[in-house]
Amino acid sequence: MRLIFVAGKGGVGKTTVAGTLSHLLSQRGMTALVSTDLAHSLGDFFSREGESFSVDGIRVFQPDARARLKERVREWEGNFFQNISPTLREDFIPFFRFAERDPSNHDLIMLEEVKRIFLEGREDFLVVDSGATAQFLKFLYLGEKLHQWYSLLLKWRKKYLRLRKMVRGKEEDEMLEFLHNRREENRKFKVAMGEAFVLWVMEPNLFSVRETLRFISEARRPDFLVTNKARENFELPLPLREIPGITLPLLQEEPLFKSRAWEKIKDKLREILIWLR
Amino acid sequence: MEKIKKWLLGFFKGAFGDILFANLEREARETEEVLLTLLLLQFSGLDNPFAFYTMELLPFMRITENSLKRIVAKEERLGYLLSRFEGWA
């Protein structure tokens, strides 16, 4: 499965580019589209409602991070409290309540969602309409970090099981299997993130040189630039000029999906498909 | 010869087996507690991605009041030692 990330500042047209691109890709193979933006707008673009739906054979996901996080934390809390004494339970409850509201966990829930669809492996392309730049950087590095983290935990669990085996004989261990699976998942995701195709969408009126340069220096240079809602006299800063890119036509018509104006965008975005090979 | 060997093995097992197994058991428990410490150190973190992922691992661990006491005692001892060496750096 090929991962394609669409990143950029808020309001530059990431969703339009991601939606149109996945429509083009669906003619080449099975495509899924996920929005990891907390304020997702894929539903508005396709004029559909719900957390997941399909349009012209594209599976579209726009998970509600808050609800998913609450659901997940409650599930873990339930599992944890099954085998712990009631006196200790009270010490741990506040942490779980806090984790439900921690905004940094929203990004992780979204990452898990992307990972889940990626590991299902049903599609040939997975287009990710990503949120803020910081979130994208997290996605880029976390697979590798988690791989290291699970390796460390596995090392200690194996050590413990070796000692326990000497005393009580061989036993099945659920945690060992769980850690193995998690490490393997993150290894696969890490490799896929290394090969992911990254599109950086810009808009002259909202152009932030700092954020774009940060993106290039901290993450890695994007594979492609899209200048959306473009003015004619917009000039890119010097480090960006080497990166291939296109300029989309300025459009006023609403709603965009499947309108005549949309065809113009599609024509322009076909250039990206050449680079995707 | 075989009989003597068997008798000697039985003797050593009977005499030192308990100590050996008790030590092994303690070692196993301590190793398990290292893992628990690694998890608990991350668990209460703010804006820490690992805090999120420890939540699904905690149910696999055996957490008792005694194990928590031992972990805290170890950390306190470590803190005390570090405070002694603070001026040296």
Chain centroid to CA A187: 16
Q: What is the pTM of this model?
A: 0.85
Distance between CA A202 and CA A229 in Å, rounded? 9
* Cβ burial A24-49 (10 Å sphere, 16+ → b, else e): bbbeeeebbbbbbbbebebbebbeee
B7-55 residue pLDDT tens: 998 888 788 877 778 888 899 999 999 999 999 888 887 788 999 999 9
pLDDT digits (tens, 9 = 90+) for B66-84: 999 998 888 888 777 777 7
The ipTM is 0.86
pLDDT for residue B88: 58
Partner residue facing A80 (CB), from B28, B52, B58: B58
Label residue B1 by pLDDT band (50, 70, 90).
Answer: confident
pLDDT of residue B4: 93
What does the alpha-carbon distance between residue A211 and residue A9 come to, in Å, rounded to a whole number?
A: 8
Give the pLDDT score at A232: 66
Reading the block at residue A226, the tokens are 């899209």
> Which 3 state secondary structure label does DSSP give A246?
strand
Q: Which of A138, A74, A70 is nearest to A108 (CA)?
A: A138
Q: Is the CB of A160 less than 8 angstroms away from the CB of B21?
A: no
Per-residue tokens: A148 = 């290291």
pLDDT value of residue A253: 66
Residue with more model confidence, B4 or B13: B4
- pLDDT value at residue A191: 93
- The verdict on a CB contact (< 8 Å) between B47 and A104 is yes
Give per-10-residue mean pLDDT for chain A (277 aa): 89 89 92 92 88 92 94 94 89 91 91 94 93 85 92 96 89 94 95 91 80 78 82 74 83 76 86 82
- Answer whether B31 sits within 8 Å of A159, measured CB to CB: yes
Q: Measured between CB atoms, does B83 come within 8 Å of chain A?
A: no
Tokens of A160: 């413990």
- Minimum-distance CB partner of A76 among B28, B47, B56: B56
- Residue B89, pLDDT > 60, answer no
- A102 contacts chain B (CB < 8 A): yes
**CA–CA distance, A145 with A139 (Å, rounded to integer):** 10
pLDDT of residue A53: 93
What residues 28-57 of chain B have any CB closer than 8 A to a CB of chain A? 28, 31-32, 34-35, 38-39, 43-44, 46-53, 55-57
Q: With contacts defined as CB-CB under 8 Å, which chain A residues touch B41?
A: none
B5 at A interface, C-beta within 8 A: no
